[in-house]
Structure 1
Amino acid sequence: MSHKHHSISIHFAQAVVKAALQQGLNEQQLLHDAGLSKALLHNNEVRITPQQLSRLMQSVWRHADDEYLCLGSQPSRHGVFSMMAKQVLPSGNLRQVYRRGSRFYNLVAAATDLHFEESENGARFYLKLADPELDPDHTLVDFLLLLWHRFPSWLIGQKIPLTKICFKHEKPAHFEEYRLMFPCEAVYGQAENYFEFDREILNAPVIQTQQNLSAYLRRCPLDWFQRQSYYPVYTRKVMDYLENAENMADSSMEGVASQIHTTTRTLRRKLLDEGTSFQELKDGVRRDEAIHYLSQPDVPISQIARLLGFTEAAAFTRAFKHWTGISPSMYRKSKE
């Protein structure tokens, strides 16, 4: 079994819904479209699937006619991203993608100012909001920086290796999500919002076709939420081991230590230095898998417990309640 599903903090759904409600959108309709409920939305410990967040954003795009999620000084009409994508597709390389894409949005979307620059030391993509006060939870900044990393990466068929991402805001409560969103170091309280990367990749050619783009646009924004996690060295090694484990019940500290040719004592110390532990990482993987399976109503809770390495459903229920604050049955029921 390969454990590659992941979950997303409810924080983002809460911020999107809050902004939508301030513009008069129907909360019940938005939650129905996303497969969410008020019970889930109001539980700060809950995590949701990428599919749920994607459907929520699509609903806001349609009902508000605003791809900036009601968080900008002016809306970016639904369809603007699609138009931009079609404009940059004929670009010869990544450099042209960033130049053309920035120019396009600066012409049609007054709520943002995008700027791309290249120097001997690297390349940077800057994002400035016309009215950042309208984005109090930094949700629009988060999503747009994510978009401008993930979409160009898709166009050239390889992940753009970021060296750093900088935010004007101070370290937020949801900062742990950034290591799942941006595969690099995050720095806060900076003069500008931007990410930087090695300029050599700017010569990478665009490899996607019009047919591929059409399929990509139908999936948006789901592809932006696929994990490109940034973890320290030993944390990443343990995550790789856990996510590819054939049997979660048999995964152990000894197993991963043997695989990476070190001792359990050394591995434990390295993880502690990186601010985590084997059990914490294992619980995170099992939590995300549980949320994925619970979103599939045909998979019994007892089977989910076995898949995740629990000897009995009661033990899984206790663990899930510890992770999220509610039981698996309540989580599943609250989505109905």
Structure 2
Amino acid sequence: MGIERYSISIHFARMLMNAGHRLQLDEAVLLKEAGLNQRMLENAHLRITPDQFSRLMRAVWRLADDEFLGMGSQRCPQGVFAIMAKQVIHSHNLHSVYYKLSHFYNVINDSLHLSLDIVGDEAFFSMALKDPAKDQDYLLRGFLLLLWHRFPSWLIGQRIPLKQVAFDHPAPKHLTEYRLMFPCPAKFDQAVTCLVFDAAILTAPLVQTPETLGHHLKRAPFDWFTRPAYYPVYTRRVLDHLERSEDLAETTIQSAALELHLTERTLRRKLAAEGSQFQRLKDGVRRDMAIHYLSQTSMSISLISQMLGFSEPSAFTRAFRQWTGELPKNYRDVARQKK
């Protein structure tokens, strides 16, 4: 289908709103800029688009003038990340990126300490907050660790293969979202918060330029939240099959098995071993596509229903309400308020 299908749990938006409340920001302004409302925040099952979440984070950054969202021991004024990025874009390789990135933040802000350590054939990029109690929802640690992986990956033009991510806090309630954020096992209650990867990739050269960086910064943080989700091999292949389909109504586990040169029974077994089910994957694709079409396009609900393989709009309406707790029309009306 050629569009980004990833959606984000409302849980993260609620944490951002909590941060805004602690910073005494105008909550009505935050919600309006993100195309959200209070009723949507109260729906624990709702998922929103990367655009909505990015708009919300950008609004908190601007109103608080703090890229650490009020969760650091010291404010990090808006624009600090861009200054750092304009320095590291001239690095020769990934090792230099992580060195310069660490040195920059260690010098200009006491809220955190960053370090790159190489032990044998593994690299550890670690982060320690000076006052972790201020990051009471663990949002800052999750966001920054995501950033320290995705921005350097963008700089070298390839995903840095992670062996593990570790966090110095307990497993959060939204644990399942971490499989969408990090392509590796996540461990909690560890001594240090860090990324772990093969040290060999530190020699990878940068492929981005000051010109491409300018475009990247204008879109930030949108691109950091729209990377494809990482899944086990057969789950990913089935998702690829579903996303390429021009007719989801006719896309079945039989068609997926045929494309993968497997029997239906074998594919079901492999998906089950990865903790997946075909229908659940198909519903996830339809849910994320529906969220995208309703919030980002002017297509009629009837056409969206047809494109996603529903026999009639009423069936789509029932499914969308089951997925999100919202009627499609109400969801679209709120999204349009931001435009």
For 2:135 and 2:106, the matched residues in 1 are separated by 19
Judge conservation of contact 1:50–1:222 (CA < 8 Å) in 2: yes
Q: Letter of the 1:326 partner, please give it.
A: E
Number of corresponding residues: 336
Look up the match of 2:34.
Answer: 34
Paired position in structure 1 for 2:262: 262
Counterpart residue number, 1:121? 121
In structure 1, distance between residues paired with 2:147 and 2:296:
28
Query: How far apart, in 2, do the equivalents of 1:179 and 1:220 lie?
Result: 22
Shift of 1:9: 0.5
Contact 1:3 1:244 in 2 (8 A): no
Partner SS state of residue 118, structure 1 = strand
In the TM superposition, what whole-angstrom CA distance separates every residue of 1:200-259 from its partner, at most 9, and x where no partner exists?
111111121111111111111111012242212221121111122122111100011111
Match of 1:21 in 2: 21
User: Deviation string for 1:112-140 (max 9, x for gaps)?
Assistant: 11111123221111111111111122110
Deviations 1:77-123 (A, max 9, x none): 11110110011111111000000100100111211111111232211
C-alpha distance in 1, partners of 2:113/2:186? 21
The CA deviation at 1:328 is: 1.2
Contact 2:4–2:228 (8 Å) recurs in 1: no
TM-score, normalising length: structure 2: 0.96
Give the corresponding residue for 2:65: 65
Structure 2: unaligned runs, 5 residues or longer: none
The CA deviation at 1:3 is 5.5
Alignment RMSD: 1.3
Q: Percent identity?
A: 52
Q: In the alignment, which residue of structure 1 is the partner of 2:225?
A: 225
Assess, with a 3 A threshold, how the Cα gap between structure 1 residues 302 and 119 changes in structure 2: closer, same or farther: same
1:98-247 superposed matches below 5 A: 98-247=98-247
Deviations 1:154-212 (A, max 9, x none): 11111111111112222222112111111122122211111111111111111211111
Given that 1:68 and 1:76 are in contact with CA atoms closer than 8 Å, whether structure 2 keeps it comes out as: yes
Query: What is the TM-score of this pair, normalised by structure 1?
Result: 0.96
Name stretches of at least 5 consecutive residues in structure 1 with no aligned partner.
Answer: none
In 2, the alpha carbon distance for the partners of 1:255 and 1:334 equals 37
Task: Show CA shifts across 1:251-303 (max 9, x none).
Answer: 10001111111111121122222222100010001000000011036211111
Aligned to 1:252: 252
Residue identity in the other structure for 1:294: L
